[in-house]
Structure 1
Amino acid sequence: MSILKDKNILLGITAGIAAYKSANLVRLFIKAGASVKVVMTPASKEFVTPLTLSTLSKNPVYSTFVGESDEEKDNEVWNNHVDLGLWADIFIIAPATANTMAKMANGVCDNILLATYLSAKCPVYFAPAMDLDMYKHESTKKSFEKLSSYGNKMIPAGTGELASGLVGEGRMAEPEAIFSFIEKDILDQLPLRGKRILITAGPTYEAIDPVRFIGNHSSGKMGFEIARAAANLGAEVILVSGPTHETILSNFVSVQNVISADDMYKEVHKHFNTSDIAILSAAVADYRPKNVANQKIKKKDPTFTIELEKTKDILKSLGEIKEDQFLVGFALETNNELEHAKGKLKSKNLDLIVLNSLQDKGAGFGVSTNKVTFITSANVVIENELKSKADVAKDLMDLILKQTHA
């Protein structure tokens, strides 16, 4: 999964021959899971058609301030450049001609692309495209400098054969290179870039015989949402998951599937020493059958007794060996919740514990929402309202960032 998934990307196209590459750039963004809208200068339509870009982006293309209503062709509608600028998470101008860059650098606003640029609140990237002598001209260099001083990011032009027949600098970067440049730039700015986070999720199944097991109702959804939130912040995530129907597609998340508490214990300890943060949200079984039958146990007696023994306490074992790791535990309680959670925080040497109660409607297993309380090692208690598990995961990661000053 690309870091650009679910991003709103606004692509600005100006009147350069390299505009033909913009269709492929739209396709790359769409394949990455982004939403794409296109704004063009009127002259750029001579190089690539709005119909092509609209079909690929699945959105209308904007090239004038006033357009026709889809419902009534006689009615004109205002194409609001402010709304476009606010909609975008990322604005890319590719190709960026010498003419458009000079206007951008000096605040000239004579078309919808330039008006949108001046309205945008998001990061702006520009990919210059022009002939060799234009690219090397002092006025063009000043445009580069000015635009960069405003916080815009230049995607360097490549060297190759130009439309004039000359060979040299000024060729717009290829769509794949533009895509990679933006993706890398975003990743490098993420607060958890270079950090490794270990997360556990789901239940564990403790075998009774080859057919039956002892388990719980955990779906694993909370842990998977935490993994997504951590990956979106740039972390490399090791997700150790018990049996679950949850899935995750991300280049930054490696899923290690386990079955039992003992499996999870071994897998977690394999990765803990190389982790910066560990978040143990799995609902690990506290007990397992002492003796596991090799064959299916036949149903013959009116009663059936299973002797149980304690499983290893994974969270406590990590608290005993942790060095610089930031360790987070989860506590699911049904009575004296706060008191029990604070006890676990201290006894297991945690930096943070997340308390959720089965007494709260909409919280716990098998639902998409959760209501949690965060308790820090400094005994700060932070109560939260009922939220989606995705939002709880974001809140948790925000708090960890503050606690670790990452």
Structure 2
Amino acid sequence: MTPRGLLISAPASGTGKTTLMLGLLAALRARGVVVQPFKSGPDYIDPAFHAAASGRASVNLDSWAMGPERLRGLVAAAEGADLILAEGSMGLFDGVALAGETGTGASADVAAMMGWPVVLVIDVSGQAQSAAAVALGFATMRPDVKIAGVVLNRVASPRHEALVRVGMAAVGIPVLAALPRNPAIAMPERHLGLVQAEEQPELAALLAEAGRFIAQHMDLDTLMAAAAGGALPAAEPLGLRPPADRIALARDQAFSFVYPHLIQGWRAAGATILPFSPLADEAPDPSADCCWLPGGYPELHAGKLAANSQFLAGTRAFAATKPVHGECGGYMAMGAGLVDAGGLRHQMLGLLGLETSFAKRRMHLGYRHAAPLVDYCGGGQAALRGHEFHYATILSQPDAALARVTDATGAEVAETGSYRRQPSGALATGTFFHLIAEAQ
């Protein structure tokens, strides 16, 4: 049976959702509670931290890109856990203007659909009783979304806490915890969010400290008692079509951004995943039927990638007869060259003519709907939903457009991806968006 759950959210980004989420996962795990984590929205960094803290793979739930059947199917994977904790993205009600498969991408959509009460994290620095007005507004915004209570973050003093509690009591909203500032559990960040979990050698100690901190300031039994939901209708299988039977998948610090539900879905459909590390100068397994280069941070490792002759030669040889696809960072690595933040150009695989630069950064962010114009790495030409988030600038893209791409409003997007056909007929393809699901 699907366990009951809670969704951790906030009025805005930067209020402490992830810190609370990781501390709760670590604290509950230390007590022997089996918690299944989820991430609402298209974030591909937080799930790795969830997995490290909980010991279970975390999965993205996205109401814009995923239909109800797929969402229920993913949540069904929590069977056997004692509790579900889902971390929201941005503010609780933040999404796009036009609904997609199930909703607008807002975390509130997922909370309402699953029946999970919301734990609202409020940064109370610089305010006292006024924080209650914020909490009351969130509690009444959508009748189908229930606020279980608030966690007061960045509390300055006992007097400050007492004043905020007075305000919350006046509007009838429970205070689940009051957290003082604690720089010892701050997570390092870079331009796409947190520094990746696998890049932090002290992560285990940081998570343990976060768990102790949350356990010290929160009644975990009260939190667990607030969970609800769990009675979900039966869901159909996920039906994620793998791009091939045997998939060579780049996996290391330069190529780490692939959604966990994609890999799980490919495996459930019978595909074999063959990981390799470009940073370790490894090439795709020749027995694979296709190669997939995920997103990540190739710009931070461009010099090493350009010098790894076995990776370059082996991937080029693979691409001569078999399809290769790259997403975002993987797409850039498939190009002719990449200019790093210092202005130095590094030669890449050259499977496509794409030239990109980080010397003049510009953020590209948003949901994407794509209608492929050619076979997508063996996956046919089904319409796709995904998400784009990068700072690279395109200097040159001489190859043919891979897809007609629009954003969540239906407006055309210039970053169409591209493809190049080898003499053998094999396709090299790439996109700046990360695939989430096939459109329904």
TM-score normalised by structure 1 residue count: 0.30
User: Greater helix percent: which structure?
Assistant: 1
Bigger Cα Rg: 1
